[in-house]
Amino acid sequence: AEWQPGGIVDFIHHAEGAQASGSRALGDTQWLGDEHISADYLHLETELQGSDPELLARTRFVDPLVAQLLRQREGSSHLQALLRGRTTVDFLFVPVSDASADDPDRRGSHWSLLFVYLRGPTGPVAFHYDSIDHYNHNFAGELANSLGATLMPPPRMKQQRNGYDCGVFVLAATRELVRRLQQQAQPTLDLDDLVADRQALRNRLQR
C-alpha cells in the first residue's frame, strides 16, 4: 500500500529515509531529483555545523518532499510543527517544484528556490529565485502564501542556458546566500553573477 503521512514528523522521517536510500550519482545532463537536493542540503548542514553553528541554528534547509507538503493549504500549521523546538530559526531555504502538490502522477520538470526570512518588520517575507525567468512564480506564490509570508519583488537571478541545470542553480543559490549571511548582517540578495557548478556538486554528492 502507498505510504500515508500521519503528520509532519512522520513525513520528515519518511522523506529522510527515502532520500538516504536513493541514488546520489549525477550525470552530465541529468535533472536533479529530490535525493540530490536533500543530500546536498545535508552536506551544507554538516559544513555549517563545523564552520558556523550559530547560523545553522538560525537556518532550516527544507527537504523537497516536505516543501511539497508546505504548499498545501495548511502549510502554516505544518511550518509551526516543522520548527517546533527551534525558536531561533530566522531563515528557510525551500526548493520549489512545479509538480502537483496533490496529484503524485503530475511530477515536476523545474526547480527554483524560495528564501524566506521569518523575522521581517511586519512578518515573514519571501524571495523567489528562478533560473528560467518566472517559470515557477505561481507555485512560489502559493508556497509563500501558505507559509504566511509576503512574496517580495524577485531579486535578479542568473539564468540557465540549458534545459537541465535548474536544480544545480537552486543549490548554488542556497550556498551563495548562506555564504553572504555568514559575512554580512544584511546581505545583498541579487544573484545575477551566480556560478552554478555542476561538477562541484557531483564531487560533493560522491563523498
pLDDT digits (tens, 9 = 90+) for 136-173: 999 999 899 888 899 999 999 999 999 999 999 999 99
Confidence of residue 23 (pLDDT cuts 50, 70, 90): low
Confidence of residue 103 (pLDDT cuts 50, 70, 90): low
Domain ranges of the chain: 8-100+108-205
Kindly report the pTM of this predicted structure: 0.84
pLDDT band at 21 (very low <50, low <70, confident <90, very high): very low
Least confident of 68-82, 98-112, 170-184: 68-82
Residue 39 contacts residue 48 (beta carbons within 8 Å):
no
pLDDT band at 99 (very low <50, low <70, confident <90, very high): confident
Q: Is pLDDT above 50 for 19?
A: no
Is-contact 39 24, C-beta < 8 A? yes
Q: What is the CA 1 to chain-centroid distance, rounded? A: 29
**Top-level class of domain 8-100+108-205:** alpha beta
Segment 123-144 shows an average pLDDT of: 94
Give the helix, strand, coil percentages of the chain, each rounded to 5: 45, 15, 45
